[in-house]
Amino acid sequence: MLQGMKLFTLEASRAFGEKVAAELGITLAAHEERDFEDGEHKARPLESVRGEDVYVLQSLNGEPGQGPNDRLCRLLFFLGAVREAGAGRVTAVMPYLAYARKDRRTKTRDPVTSRYLAMLLETMGVDAVMSLEVHNPAAFQNAFRCRAYHLDTYRLFAERILPHCGDAPLVVASPDPGGVKRAQGFRELLEARAGREIGAAYMEKRRSEGKVSGTLLAGEVDGATVLVMDDLISSGGTLLRAAEACLDRGARRVFGLAAHGLFVGDAERVIADPRLSKVLVTDSLPPSRLPPRVVERHLEVVGAAPLFAEAIRRLHENGSLTELLGGPA
């Protein structure tokens, strides 16, 4: 039993929070959420948190009826309420972190929303934040003055993808230059697990005013099973571009791997496209925008709750998180 610790999960992420609590061997701490007629809301803990090590879990994705802005506001207010109720330490656990994609200025007067998000969370008095496979881990860690724990999916995906790969040559590919370090980290772990050499590749990608261009594929994929690894799948266009390029260069099969499945826009068609042998995502977000038949036939959902539970347990016990972070803790 973990003494002196409480885990709260706001209702929008309750299903995932219950999985994390079950892995920890605890029950979720009780809280109340109320919506008012004019759209305002309030949330408060229903049990004492004074002096406790408190974790508040909420993914910041948008769903019908509750967008990312609403979920962020609810999380901020609840974090503030917990802090003012006397919590000894407060950690915001955000399996999916909204606004992380805009971490630098690419045009004049661009906002840097990842930094603004960090400022909002820190204003609520959090001691630490934890998230899974953010868009740019370095920018995530540099945006916060408090401790920022970035969990990676390497071990989760390695266990599930290797049985699909067989003895064919294997290549890990990034669908854009910005994801090369993520793909490299996964490739290195996969090589250690598989006991054989694994190739690397990446796609050229340029985005301007919502339009994506770039067709160059660097790396040898002829005759290989290619694993295209990214942080998230939104509409799926980036993933499918990479799959097409690999197959045109002689790849045998292409699998897509991403921590978070937003599945907006044309994602249903992309995920069901026969050029993708299978798409793997974690359960950080429910694939609720996809029809059940597409989920059943084309998607493999990997549980991330054990990873979060282990990270929370180690943090609570002041242990090392190094092997979970993809970098020094």
Task: Give the catalytic positions in this structure.
Answer: 205
Torsion of Cα atoms, 247 then 250 then 252 then 258, to 10°? -40
Q: Give the ranges where 102-216 is alpha helix by DSSP (H).
A: 113-123, 137-143, 154-165, 180-194
What the block records as the tokens of 62 is: 């948008």
What does the block give as tokens for 92?
């915001």
CB atoms within 10 A of CB 237: 15
Query: How far apart are alpha carbons 127 and 91 in whole angstroms?
Result: 6
Distance CA 107, CA 68 (A): 24
Tell which residue, 175, 165, 178, 169, has the closest CA to residue 101: 178
As a whole number of angstroms, the distance between CA 224 and CA 1 comes to 47
Name the amino acid, one letter, at 94.
M
CA gap 259, 301 in Å, rounded: 10
Residues 288, 313 contacting (CB under 8 angstroms): no
57 within 8 A of 16, measured Cβ to Cβ: yes
Q: How far apart are CA 49 and CA 36, in angstroms?
A: 25
